[in-house]
Amino acid sequence: MEPQCEGRAHNEGNPFPEALLSVVVPCYNEADSLPFFADEFARVVGEMRKRHNLSFELVLVDDGSSDATLDVIKELAKRDEGFSVSWISFSRNFGKEAALYAGLKRARGFYVATMDADMQDPPSLLPLMYELLVEKDCDNVAARRDSRKGEPPIRSFFSRLFYRLMHKMSKVDIPDGARDFRLMKRPMVNAVLSMGERNRFSKGVFGWVGFKTEWLSYDNAERVAGKTKWSFLSLLAYSIEGMVAFSTVPLSIASVAGVVMFVLAVLWGVYIVVKTLLFGDPVAGWPSLACAILFVGGIQLLCLGIMGQYLAKVYLEVKDRPLYVVREVSDEQGLR
């Protein structure tokens, strides 16, 4: 049987046809990886078209790349390999989260997948993800890495620490090893799109919207070409962003620290009074006083910093700037 949707005009009554699977890929300086990705994607599409009654749409978001990514995307859009290509190019680099949001907004399928361009999210998993999604009573299938093979140990250590902390601090379920590689059904996509916040942390967003998730484990794959865009510092900033976006526990730490300091001060005061009554010498101990002042000063700065983090996020949300600015987009195309 032929795919049911051949073009937009045919889908007017049904804006998100069930027989269409969209794949959203954020691309930042991926000119070297995209050709590998496109070839593998075309192979997977060929395989899935034979087995399922599906059409495919590839949504590529150029996140202000400074290399030839956009040219590669435009070339790809000209090829006819059993899927249509729809693309957006940002006016500058707005970050992966903004690129994902833009891509999800543009996707027209009932089934929507998000994945990276560097083959660390292997397209060959898509058929299995689709089958699981159709067979099981779930709303999305999410991939998670079993191992962190090939990753620097220090990066793995801090990642694990982050997930452990998040697990304790937030009700949102973000398992260790979870990636932004998912295949979702339309209701979940719409729920994700309804969260228009600027401070986006997609692993948290996917967890926050809920829905039933089927996890699919796979071995870590290394980047096919190019370099990772995340330095240690940018990952650290991203983790802090995630915590601030999905937990208010750090704010409670500030209050608890205040209470603990108060209790310590009272106990210390009692100790000094008793000691003075028993042994005299009321003015001894300025080094301990200096330590205490530094300690309290440090705690106060920490608490101010925590509050500052939240205040900064409120400031950014209140300004209500767009999540991204588009420089160029592809024409609407008929679906293949």
Among 32, 62, 118, 180, binds Mg ion (CB under 5 A): 118
Q: Which does 63 bind (CB under 5 to 8 A by kind): ligand UDP, Mg ion, none?
A: ligand UDP
Give the shortest CB-220-to-Mg ion separation in angstroms: 10
> Based on CB atoms, which residue is closest to ligand UDP, 26 or 207?
26
Give the shortest CB-228-to-ligand UDP separation in angstroms: 3
Cβ atoms within 10 Å, residue 116: 19
Among 26, 109, 207, 250, binds ligand UDP (CB under 6 A): 26
Residues linked to residue 113 through DSSP beta bridges, in sequence order: 23, 183
Q: Is 52 in the site for ligand UDP (CB under 6 A)?
A: no
Q: For 122, list phi and psi in degrees, rounded to 5.
A: -65, 125
Q: Which does 117 bind (CB under 5 to 8 A by kind): ligand UDP, Mg ion, none?
A: ligand UDP
Among 24, 117, 126, 209, binds ligand UDP (CB under 6 A): 117
As a whole number of angstroms, the distance between CA 280 and CA 329 comes to 81
Among 120, 170, 202, 247, binds Mg ion (CB under 5 A): 120
Contact status, residue 192 vs residue 205, Cβ threshold 8 Å: yes
Q: Which does 95 bind (CB under 5 to 8 A by kind): ligand UDP, Mg ion, none?
A: ligand UDP
Give the shortest CB-241-to-Mg ion separation in angstroms: 19
Give the shortest CB-226-to-Mg ion separation in angstroms: 9
Q: Which stretch binds ligand UDP (CB under 6 A): 114-122, 162-170, 186-194, 252-260?
A: 114-122
Give the shortest CB-99-to-ligand UDP separation in angstroms: 4
Among 32, 34, 73, 95, binds ligand UDP (CB under 6 A): 95
Q: Which amino acid is at 129?
A: M
Residue 322: both structure tokens together? 């767009």
Please provide the DSSP assignment of 193-241 as one string: HH---SS--HHHHHHHT---EEEEEE-----SSS--S--HHHHHHHHHH
Q: Is 118 in the site for ligand UDP (CB under 6 A)?
A: yes
Residues linked to residue 215 through DSSP beta bridges, in sequence order: 142
As a whole number of angstroms, the distance between CA 104 and CA 322 comes to 15
**Nearest alpha-carbon partner for 171 in 214, 208, 201:** 208
Give the shortest CB-258-to-ligand UDP separation in angstroms: 37
Among 24, 42, 45, 99, binds ligand UDP (CB under 6 A): 99
**Nearest alpha-carbon partner for 25 in 81, 78, 91, 83:** 83
Please provide the DSSP assignment of 43-95 as one string: HHHHHHHHHS--EEEEEEEE-S-SSTHHHHHHHHHH--SSSEEEEEEESS---
Q: Is 76 in the site for ligand UDP (CB under 6 A)?
A: no
The contact set with Mg ion (CB under 5 A) reads: 116, 118, 120
The contact set with ligand UDP (CB under 6 A) reads: 26-28, 30, 63, 93, 95-96, 99, 116-118, 120, 228-230
